[in-house]
């Protein structure tokens, strides 16, 4: 069983690596966060998600993964 | 070529405290010839540890031979020590074997997580900065110390995305981890700069908020501005560009605010300029550490 802090990292890792999941999250961050096991305190912060930063970070991580695969 | 610098505060008063600070370069195969040709101007070399975990014996022996010629710092990128999850002991074992083989001056890792529940992010990511991640990160660092025999220096990372769910500022979160684990700080000044300008904060104020008395190493690098759909811009730390002026200003400010001795390492991962350009950047770092440079600090925020 993942604790809420681990669930927060699970959420971020999926947001950084899965474009479809990211799109679902944007539509309803709180419900998706709840499904993943975030606690109320964490859920309350999701409204302030930095969408620009998230997209740029996801793009940057995708480029890094692609560069790793080339090596 | 090490800089023996007087403490900047002491220099204007009666007591002058000397310290030795080394300035060097991140090891990359593309830079090897230049590094060997300029060892009289390079005090320290930082090597990416992960590149050697599965390397043939002869490559690890070559790394050990390098460490016999110049102080080598091993730098890890894949442990994911800053996390609410326990660090993988198999990965720590690999680091321990490399440390044992190379006998570096020290080793370091990042205040980052890199994977979660089987998902590899592909690079360093900042976890939510909470009491829970402080607690587990301290446990992870203690385990790293037990397995490798040395506590790693911990590096602040650049992030394009400030994680929601955080309850601490980056500086406070880092301080609590460093103090509780006894780890030194590897302060990446471009990471600090990028995070500050991306959040529209003053980089000098961010610098002052970090536990500067714990600094044992400094990274200098550069980056570029990127945007999403042509809109809002963010500074990406990409190690493909020269450090901006602001990073050297931060180095000078750091030198004035701490009495700590630290190594300064220039990181460059591609789009390599002529080696003389890199040597010039090392000279610029040495100048920033010099107490003779007594100009007021400029603000670049």
Name every chain B residue with its beta carbon within 8 A of the beta carbon of A65: 120, 122-123
Name every chain A residue with its beta carbon within 8 A of the beta carbon of B130: 5, 8
Sequence-ordered list of residues with C-beta below 8 angstroms from that of B56, at least 6 positions apart, any chain: none
- Alpha carbons B120 and B124: distance in angstroms, whole number: 10
Q: Which residue of B has its CA nearest to A29?
A: B164
Q: Is A19 on the interface with B (CB under 8 A)?
A: no
Q: Please give, rounded to a whole number of angstroms, the shortest distance from the CA of B11 to a CA of chain A.
A: 43
Q: Is A31 on the interface with B (CB under 8 A)?
A: no
Two structure tokens written together for A61: 């991580």
pTM of the model: 0.92
DSSP annotation of B292 reads T
- The H or E element that residue B264 is part of is strand B263-266
Where do we find the tokens 């008063």? B13
Q: Please give, rounded to a whole number of angstroms, the shortest distance from the CA of A24 to a CA of chain B.
A: 17
**B170 CB-side CA count, 13 A:** 28
Per-residue pLDDT of chain B (301 residues; tens, 9 = 90+): 555 554 444 444 434 456 778 999 999 999 999 999 999 999 999 999 999 999 999 999 999 999 999 999 999 999 999 999 999 999 999 999 999 999 999 999 999 999 999 999 999 999 999 999 999 999 999 999 999 999 999 999 999 999 999 999 999 999 999 999 999 999 999 999 999 999 999 999 999 999 999 999 999 999 999 998 888 999 999 999 999 999 999 999 999 999 999 999 999 999 999 999 999 999 999 999 996 544 445 555 4
Two structure tokens written together for B242: 């020269």
- Alpha carbons B40 and B25: distance in angstroms, whole number: 13
> Are residues A53 and B198, on separate chains, in Cβ contact within 8 Å?
yes
Q: Is A65 on the interface with B (CB under 8 A)?
A: yes
Name every chain A residue with its beta carbon within 8 A of the beta carbon of B133: 5
Torsion of CA B233, B234, B238, B244, to 10 degrees: 90
- Alpha carbons B247 and B220: distance in angstroms, whole number: 7
> Are residues A16 and B121, on separate chains, in Cβ contact within 8 Å?
yes
> Are residues A52 and B85, on separate chains, in Cβ contact within 8 Å?
no
Q: Do you know the residue count of chain A?
A: 71
Q: Which residue of B has its CA nearest to A38?
A: B165
Sequence-ordered list of residues with C-beta below 8 angstroms from that of B228, at least 6 positions apart, any chain: A52, A55, A56, A59
> Are residues B116 and A12, on separate chains, in Cβ contact within 8 Å?
yes
Give the sign of the dihedral formed by CA B107, CA B268, CA B70, CA B259.
Answer: negative
DSSP helix/strand/coil, A13: helix
* Nearest CA-CA partner of B162 in B125, B124, B192: B125
> Are residues A56 and B160, on separate chains, in Cβ contact within 8 Å?
yes
Q: Are B156 and B232 in contact (CB under 8 A)?
A: no
> Are residues A56 and B133, on separate chains, in Cβ contact within 8 Å?
no
ipTM of the predicted structure?
A: 0.94
- Alpha carbons B125 and A1: distance in angstroms, whole number: 23
* Nearest CA-CA partner of B301 in B181, B185, B184, B205: B205
> Are residues A12 and B125, on separate chains, in Cβ contact within 8 Å?
yes
């Amino acid at each position: 069983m993942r604790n809420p802090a681990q669930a927060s990292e699970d959420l971020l890792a999926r947001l950084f690596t899965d474009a479809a999941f990211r799109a679902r999250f944007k539509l309803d961050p709180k419900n998706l966060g709840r499904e993943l096991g975030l606690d109320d305190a964490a859920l309350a912060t999701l409204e302030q998600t930095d969408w620009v930063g998230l997209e740029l970070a996801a793009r940057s991580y995708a480029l890094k993964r692609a560069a790793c695969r080339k090596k | 070529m090490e800089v023996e610098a007087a403490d900047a505060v002491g220099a204007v008063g009666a007591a002058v405290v000397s310290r030795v600070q080394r300035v060097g370069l991140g090891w990359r195969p593309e830079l090897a010839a230049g590094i060997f040709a300029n060892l009289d101007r390079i005090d320290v070399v930082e090597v990416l540890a992960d590149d050697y975990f599965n390397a043939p014996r002869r490559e690890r022996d070559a790394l050990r031979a390098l460490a016999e010629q110049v102080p080598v710092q091993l730098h890890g990128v894949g442990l994911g020590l800053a996390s609410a999850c326990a660090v993988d002991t198999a990965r720590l074992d690999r680091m321990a074997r490399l440390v044992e083989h190379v006998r570096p001056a020290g080793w370091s890792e990042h205040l980052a997580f890199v994977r979660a529940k089987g998902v590899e992010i592909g690079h360093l990511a900042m976890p939510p900065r909470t009491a829970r991640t402080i607690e587990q990160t301290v446990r992870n660092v203690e385990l790293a110390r037990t397995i490798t025999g040395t506590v790693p220096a911990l590096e602040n990372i650049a992030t394009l995305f400030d994680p929601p769910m955080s309850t601490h500022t980056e500086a406070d979160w880092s301080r609590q981890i460093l103090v509780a684990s006894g780890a030194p700080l590897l302060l990446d000044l471009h990471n600090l700069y990028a995070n500050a300008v991306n959040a529209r904060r003053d980089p000098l104020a961010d610098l002052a908020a970090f536990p500067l008395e714990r600094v044992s190493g400094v990274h200098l690098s550069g980056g570029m501005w990127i945007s999403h759909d042509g809109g809002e811009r963010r500074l990406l730390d990409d190690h493909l560009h020269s450090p901006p002026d602001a990073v050297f200003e931060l180095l000078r400010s750091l030198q004035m605010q701490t009495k700590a001795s630290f190594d300064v390492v220039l990181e460059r991962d591609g789009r390599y300029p002529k080696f003389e350009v890199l040597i010039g950047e090392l000279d610029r770092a040495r100048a920033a550490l010099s107490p003779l440079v007594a100009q007021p600090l400029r603000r670049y925020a």
